[in-house]
Structure 1
Amino acid sequence: MRPFLLVVALIAAFPGAGRAQDVLPGPTPASDVSPMAPMGLETALAGLPRLVESTMVRSGVPGMAVAVVREGEVVFRQGFGRRDIRLPDPVTPETVFQIASVSKSISATVAAITISDGALHWDDPVSDYLPDLQLSDSYVGAHATVGDFFAHRTGLPFAAGDDLEDIGHDRDQILDRLGQLPLDPFRVTYHYANMGLTTGAEAVAAAAGRDWADLAQEKLFGPLGMTATSYRHADAMAAGNRAVLHAYEHGMFQPLYDRDADAQAPAGGVSSTVDDLAKWMILLLADGQWQGMPLIDPAVLHPAMRMQIVNSPGRGANDRSGAYGYGFNVETTAGGRPIRNHSGGFIKGAGTHFKLLTDAGIGIVVLSNGAPVGAVESIAAEFMDVVQFGRSTRDWLTGYESLMAPMFDPVGDLVGQAAPQDPAPAGPASRYLGSYDNAYFGPAEVVEGPEGLALLLGPRPLRLALQPWDGDRFAVAPLGENQPLGSLSSVTFTIEGDLATALHVQYLDANGLAHWRR
């Protein structure tokens, strides 16, 4: 999945990961925030159904579910629209959605409970629990902590390992290959990486001696009664009341694809309902207490929900900056109040978001079965505006739509290029046929079928038709979670004598590793 802020953040000093018992000095006093609007929550709740319905009309998103909590109580829960545009079945508060990267905040909560139980610390080196894990810098590999991986500050590149998931590798295969990726500066570079956070979660699971999905059930889902929540794709598919993914292609939402995120499940593989997520928000807003019993040590939860690294620095002196904790976005509202949130999105058809106005004890979660066009974020933002200020401060949907639009841009060096008018002919098929090796991506094979040459990648394998472009250069049109409709990339063969000895796949070459040799 693509993150929503494609930003590199370099900061001059790093506050450190901190053990659970550490306390940061000098908290900002709560007394300096702007006063809440009288009856703000009541006004926001009264207008919420109309806000959701109008946003769905404007955006075209086919189905949504929303829940709101305040000080330990669910004060709103409702479904809107349809689970599948082909069928009349309505969305309800019990409808199961794939929640994409909101999973990261769920995973941070599972980790916090496990840490509270004494299995490990946020600042334990991951190498203590995953001794076979290697990174390209041996110092980082030995010293990067659980918190570093949850905060995306290890120096792993943006979207590290997503390219391997795209061609069908599983979690273990991907983690085994992260050591081949180049690293940027440790603990001063923010690069959003699903497989990085997944690495941190795997260390937590190893410390507890559990499979990650089983650990989450034991530590969080079971105790809170989150009976419809799972990290396993098969469980989502088995739900009778399930929202179908709707991709946004050709200007409309369509139920075209499945999205199996098991490989990156701690980062993006949770399925859940707004009823279940309301319980989770209540736990967080109660500082880790559930029904009067402590489940998370506040000294463990607080580091996850406070700034660990700047992830969206303001472009100018008058701009506010954003930050990231351990699986949570850490921000401040225009009224000076702390707010915690995260978005999730699959371009194959899911958009999700939650916000916690922590000092007011108010949380909202919005789940949708439409690709991430900004609808869920705009609903949560306008709702929290009304809660705080009594009115919306801007047209949030228009702003978020423009922010999300680049996620749908096709990728590849041939996008927008006209095919050569007088191309050199491709060589005979025998020049290209055969197997090629790559230590990072694994083997590739060029085969010939009734429709011509094709490139096979990954263990499943992924089949890409090779369309002649110019001589020994071909075009492929990948279509995946990170390759929207219209993507077009070159595949170029190196020829020695009359035989191809190597090939290069441009759309996979973000880190300079997409070269295969015969």
Structure 2
Amino acid sequence: MSVTVVKDGKVLFKKGYGVRELGKSDAVNTQTLFAMASTTKAMTAACLGMLVDEGKLRWDDPVTNFLPDFQLYDPAVTRELRVRDLLIHNTGVGNADVLWAAMQIPQDEIIHRLRLVKPSYSLRAGFIYQNIMYLAAGKVIERVSGMPWNKFIRTRIFEPLGMARTKALFKEVTDANRAKPHVEVRDTIRLVNSQLEEGLVDAVGPAGSVWTCPDDVAAWMQCMLDSSRYNGKTLLKPATWAELIKPQTLVTDAEFYPTQQLTKPVWKTYGLGWFQHDYRGHRVNFHTGSLTGMIAIHGQLPDQKLAVYVQGNLDHAELRHALMYRAFDEFALGVSRDWSADFQKLYGGIKQRAKQAERKADSTRVLNTKPSLPLSAYVGSYTDPLYGKADITLQDGALHLSLNNIMSGKLEHWNYDTFRLNYDQFWNGHDPVNFVLNTQGKISSLRWGGAELIKTPDGTDKNTSGR
């Protein structure tokens, strides 16, 4: 991992720890590139702010002013949605990450399929974290500026701040001095050796595809603490910078971090690309980043001119939270608490309860049952306009599933017509897959991850574009 701390315009601490890849001796240093993941979102919001400063858009302009084809499930929400709403997770659209994490389709098609996602709540009546709206924000930047988001962010943020090693997209990361992702599976840490898995996030780049290192990110940290100023350059007008960190919407308990059980905030909000809460009478602006095998956190105590940035290459290593609060206490507030022990207990308890829940689910399995039909009857293609295509094949006497040629695995019979999908991509674990029979006793569909994919009658593919 790496840790960077800045205060009062100076770098107080900047150091790398551990190795870039398990089993190899290449050490992490201040030039090692890690994924910024969702800490990218604050940069995308700043890019939109620059266009606001130039008078090319306003925060409360309708999204359809810039993306005429943009459409959500509810036409009324489509009409009312504002640019600001793309950044604050309040559109009513629930998590739709399957559109980039479980398939490879063009960015415009990802946005097009949003019209198929039924709302989870009414517009601005709740908060559910949403990555694809940031992709739409990136498309607004492209439409207004005339250049793709990845070029805009490079020319308007990376270059002015001297962030020479920082890359906007994973596909641009060719330097050997980069961290490799790792996941802990059954108490064993394993390398995620998949360029495809790492590259999927590029499809929603404005939500989380930037890669950076401590030597570069220190400039971004100082810039965001100092009204967007750095080395004589100013990225944003003061009022626009203030808008970025102004509370925009309330965050529900269910959508906030388990850390609230220890920090006990009075209020929890979301700005433009920043979570916020109170801590010891001070406002904290922060955001985590999580991709398969990679983590980040960027935390600020703005009234103390203090910021900390942590990156790591182990999936959901929640030490990041402990380090952030430790930095706040150590470098600004003059208090002492063993955050490492407290967070280890908190997240250790969460992990233990998850294991107990899985054991409880396993205990409901009905033993000594058989599928309703011969395994060959389950073979075929299953489609859904939103979720894409699942292909079921029979190999060596066992069923195998391939979802959009991205995720695959063996189907182990569980009970009746329910199977357990053990992913070839081990970091995904396993999921239940349930087959549904029609009134003629034939397989009509399969259910996976909350979706129902319909079996094509002759094995040919139906149109899955959603159009």
> Which residue in the other structure is 1:395 paired with?
339
Contact 1:374-1:404 at 8 Å conserved across structures: no
Match for 1:246 among 182, 193, 200?
182
Q: CA deviation at 1:302?
A: 1.4
CA distance in 1, matches of 2:380, 2:52: 50
Q: CA deviation at 1:303?
A: 1.6
CA distance in 2, matches of 1:464, 1:146: 40
Q: State the AA in 2 paired with 1:514.
A: E
| 1:177-216 equivalence runs, <5 A | 177-183=113-119, 184-216=121-153
Helix, strand or coil for the counterpart of 1:123?
Answer: coil
Q: CA deviation at 1:375?
A: 0.8
Q: State the AA in 1 paired with 2:314.
A: G
CA deviation profile, 1:317-372 (whole Å, cap 9, x unmatched): x85121101110122221x22221111123x3112111112122221111111222
> Which residue in the other structure is 1:372 paired with?
316
| 1:290-305 equivalence runs, <5 A | 290-305=230-245
The answer to whether 1:493 aligns with 2:436 is yes
CA shift in 2, pair 1:124/1:407, >3 Å: farther
CA shift in 2, pair 1:479/1:164, >3 Å: farther
Contact 1:190-1:310 at 8 Å conserved across structures: yes
Match for 1:140 among 65, 74, 77?
77
Match for 2:219 among 256, 276, 279?
279
Match for 2:284 among 339, 344, 360?
339
Match for 2:412 among 467, 471, 495?
467
CA shift in 2, pair 1:173/1:153, >3 Å: same
CA deviation profile, 1:460-492 (whole Å, cap 9, x unmatched): 3432322233343332134769x743x331321
> Which residue in the other structure is 1:504 paired with?
447
Helix, strand or coil for the counterpart of 1:402?
Answer: helix
Higher relative contact order (CA 8 A, sep 6+): 1
The alignment's TM-score, normalised by the length of structure 2, stands at 0.86
CA deviation profile, 1:53-80 (whole Å, cap 9, x unmatched): xxxxxxxxxxx21222223222322112
Q: CA deviation at 1:443?
A: 2.8
Match for 1:448 among 391, 394, 397?
394
CA shift in 2, pair 1:111/1:331, >3 Å: same
CA distance in 2, matches of 1:239, 1:288: 29
> Which residue in the other structure is 1:363 paired with?
307
Calculate percent identity across the aligned residue pairs.
Answer: 24
CA deviation profile, 1:238-273 (whole Å, cap 9, x unmatched): 112111112122224332344221122211211111
CA shift in 2, pair 1:423/1:435, >3 Å: same
> Which residue in the other structure is 2:459 paired with?
none
Contact 1:306-1:330 at 8 Å conserved across structures: no
Helix, strand or coil for the counterpart of 1:344?
Answer: strand
Q: State the AA in 2 paired with 1:402.
A: L
Q: State the AA in 2 paired with 1:162.
A: D
Helix, strand or coil for the counterpart of 2:160?
Answer: helix
CA deviation profile, 1:374-413 (whole Å, cap 9, x unmatched): 1112111111012233232453553266248758948999
Task: Decide which moves more: 198-207 or 299-308.
Answer: 198-207
Q: CA deviation at 1:221?
A: 0.9
CA distance in 1, matches of 2:413, 2:155: 54
Contact 2:268-2:275 at 8 Å conserved across structures: yes
CA distance in 1, matches of 2:345, 2:55: 43
Task: Decide which moves more: 223-232 or 67-76.
Answer: 67-76
The alignment's TM-score, normalised by the length of structure 1, stands at 0.78
Contact 2:389-2:453 at 8 Å conserved across structures: no
Contact 1:423-1:470 at 8 Å conserved across structures: yes
CA distance in 2, matches of 1:380, 1:471: 49
Helix, strand or coil for the counterpart of 1:514?
Answer: strand
> Which residue in the other structure is 1:13 paired with?
none
CA shift in 2, pair 1:396/1:118, >3 Å: farther
> Which residue in the other structure is 1:234 paired with?
171
Q: State the AA in 1 paired with 2:408.
A: R
Q: State the AA in 2 paired with 1:117.
A: E
> Which residue in the other structure is 1:71 paired with?
8
CA distance in 1, matches of 2:249, 2:317: 26
CA distance in 1, matches of 2:350, 2:118: 25
- How many correspondences in the alignment? 440
The answer to whether 1:162 aligns with 2:97 is yes
Contact 1:65-1:79 at 8 Å conserved across structures: yes
Q: Which runs of 5+ in 1 are unaligned?
A: 1-63
Q: CA deviation at 1:208?
A: 1.4
Q: CA deviation at 1:194?
A: 1.2
Contact 1:96-1:272 at 8 Å conserved across structures: yes
CA shift in 2, pair 1:231/1:480, >3 Å: farther
CA shift in 2, pair 1:438/1:413, >3 Å: farther
